[in-house]
DNA sequence: CAGCCAATGTTGAACCTTCAAGTTACTATA
DNA sequence: TATAGTAACTTGAAGGTTCAACATTGGCTG
């Protein structure tokens, strides 16, 4: 990666990134762009699923009664409620999920059907194999630990920044 | 994050992720999902740009003559040529970029116009501020170094896996 | 209990990306 | 110098996501 891809000094008063931050940033951007693309490509080809759909199905499959309230599922899947709602509608039509309203509460649950469960069970092995090949085969145990810590730290900062409105994102 | 979101053992012969890998994976997925969303939100609100558009403009602005062949620019921006072409078309209409065919070669260049340059110069300060707030304010210098290394290692593995067809992504 | 407020969820339109097919124009080969 | 091959780019359609507006329904307060 060459020069200054994050824009060059133009306004006095703006604090730019130092060289190490620049490099880390460019590399991180590449990662967050390419990794999802790679995951989608594999899942699309092997199972005709988006990674988001897979993640939603997998999340439900790990749940106590294979069910979860939509708003909680959205959080779990790092998505907006709107995005989730559209996808649940699609997967409901496919027969993998159904909606069920919660008595005595204002929410509704997404429930994984048997067909949905079968779908994840079928999609999981090639996907996990791909995750291993795309990422973990290149990392030592120590690096895996570092990855957890670093990603965790970034998520914490992300949440803090968004909550405070400072990052205005 | 609770249980086993990557699907549970169902097929003998599939090698699953160990506990540390699982945790790292869930955290990484959260990051690659939320970070781009946060970047898009900020740029959309402050500058009416997608992060990808910003990145393309910034990449051009860092280039020798503010120009780069489309296929190279696509690589630089971690995107397909198709995606880039659509976006260049849009930005051409906005007056930020123009296409110029390369004599004696079969490619064409994207060239950043003065208006395009003005647009990046205006968009950069709030964006950099946001990047700092969203990510770097939560990381020590040592962590920034680790981030470069780790992201680099993952990208290397990603490329290797995709090239070999093993990860089939 | 009435009325308001806030949380939850849905929807359609606009927008963006992907995918596959098609075009163009160099390059190599005979 | 034909001809085939291929790299570079474009395009339209299909599909996914976001955004904003709307509907529904509990919870809270007077």
pLDDT for res A164: 87
Q: CA(B72)–C1'(C24) in Å?
A: 19
Q: Does residue A1 carry a pLDDT above 50?
A: no
Instruction: Compare B60 and A16 and report the one with higher pLDDT.
Output: B60
User: B163 Cβ partners below 8 Å, 6+ apart?
Assistant: none
Please give the share of chain A, as a percent, with pLDDT higher than 90: 82
pLDDT for res B84: 98
Is residue A22 assigned to a domain? no
10-residue mean pLDDT profile of chain B (169 residues): values are 46 81 98 98 97 98 96 98 98 98 88 98 98 98 98 97 75
Bridge partners of B39, per DSSP, are none
Q: Does residue A10 carry a pLDDT above 80?
A: no
pLDDT for res A3: 40
Q: Return the number of other C-beta atoms located less than 10 Å from residue A105's C-beta.
A: 9
pLDDT for res B15: 83
Averaged pLDDT for residues A159-167: 84
Is residue A77 assigned to a domain? yes
Is residue A87 assigned to a domain? yes
The number of folded domains in chain A is 1
Structure tokens at B87: 């976006």
The closest alpha carbon to B29, from A54, A48, A164, belongs to A54
The closest alpha carbon to A136, from B157, B6, B156, belongs to B157
Return chain A residues 69..108 having CB < 7 Å to nucleic acid strand C: 69-71, 74, 81-82, 85-86, 88-89, 99, 106-108
Question: Are residues B60 and B66 in contact, defined by beta-carbon separation less than 8 angstroms?
Answer: yes
Strand order across the beta sheet in which B67-69 lies: B67-69, B108-112, B97-101
B2: which DSSP letter? Answer: -
CB contact under 8 A, B62 and A17: no
pLDDT for res A106: 81
Q: Does the beta carbon of B8 lie under 8 angstroms from any beta carbon of chain A? A: yes
What count of residues does chain A have?
169
pLDDT for res A103: 77
Nearest-angstrom CA–CA distance, A133 and A140 = 13
Is residue A76 assigned to a domain? yes
Is residue A50 assigned to a domain? yes
The closest alpha carbon to B27, from A67, A159, A17, belongs to A159
Q: Does residue A115 carry a pLDDT above 50?
A: yes
Is residue A118 assigned to a domain? yes
> Nearest by CB to A131, which of B25, B46, B160?
B25
pLDDT for res B11: 53
User: A6 Cβ partners below 8 Å, 6+ apart?
Assistant: A16, A17, A22, A25, A26, B58, B124, B127, B128, B131
Please give the share of chain A, as a percent, with pLDDT higher than 70: 90
Query: Taking the model in full, what pTM does it have?
Result: 0.92
Q: CA(A102)–C1'(D24) in Å?
A: 14
Is residue B136 assigned to a domain? yes
CATH, residue A113? 1.10.10.10
Q: Where are the beta strands (DSSP E) in A31-159?
A: 67-69, 97-101, 108-112
Is residue B20 assigned to a domain? no
Owning domain of residue B131:
37-155
Question: Are residues A93 and A99 in contact, defined by beta-carbon separation less than 8 angstroms?
Answer: no
pLDDT for res A11: 52
Read off the pLDDT of residues A44-83 as tens digits, 9 standing for 90 and up.
Answer: 999 999 999 999 999 999 999 999 999 999 999 999 999 9
Q: Does residue A145 carry a pLDDT above 60?
A: yes
Q: Taking phi first (over 0 means left), then psi (-120 to 50 degrees means alpha), and beta for anything else, what does residue B79 get?
A: beta
pLDDT for res B102: 86
Q: Where are the alpha helices (DSSP H) in B6-140?
A: 19-47, 51-61, 70-76, 81-94, 114-134
Nearest-angstrom CA–CA distance, B133 and A71 = 27
The closest alpha carbon to B146, from A6, A24, A29, A1, belongs to A24
Q: Return positions of chain D under 7 A from a protein CB.
A: 7-13, 16-21, 24-27
């Amino acid at each position: 990666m060459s020069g200054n891809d994050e824009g060059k000094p133009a306004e006095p008063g703006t604090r730019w990134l130092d060289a190490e931050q620049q490099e880390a940033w460019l590399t991180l951007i590449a990662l967050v762009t390419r990794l999802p693309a790679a995951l989608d490509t594999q899942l699309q080809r092997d199972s005709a699923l988006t990674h988001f759909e897979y993640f939603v199905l997998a999340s439900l499959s790990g749940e106590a009664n294979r069910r979860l309230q939509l708003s909680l599922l959205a959080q779990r899947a790092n998505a907006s409620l709107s995005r989730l709602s559209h996808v649940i509608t699609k997967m409901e039509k496919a027969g993998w999920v159904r909606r069920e309203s919660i008595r005595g509460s204002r929410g509704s649950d997404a429930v994984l059907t048997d067909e949905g469960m079968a779908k994840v069970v079928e999609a999981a092995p090639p996907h996990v194999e791909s995750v291993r090949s795309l990422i973990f085969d290149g990392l030592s145990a120590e690096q895996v630990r570092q990855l957890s810590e670093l990603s965790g730290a970034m998520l914490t900062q992300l949440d803090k920044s968004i909550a405070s409105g400072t990052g205005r994102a």
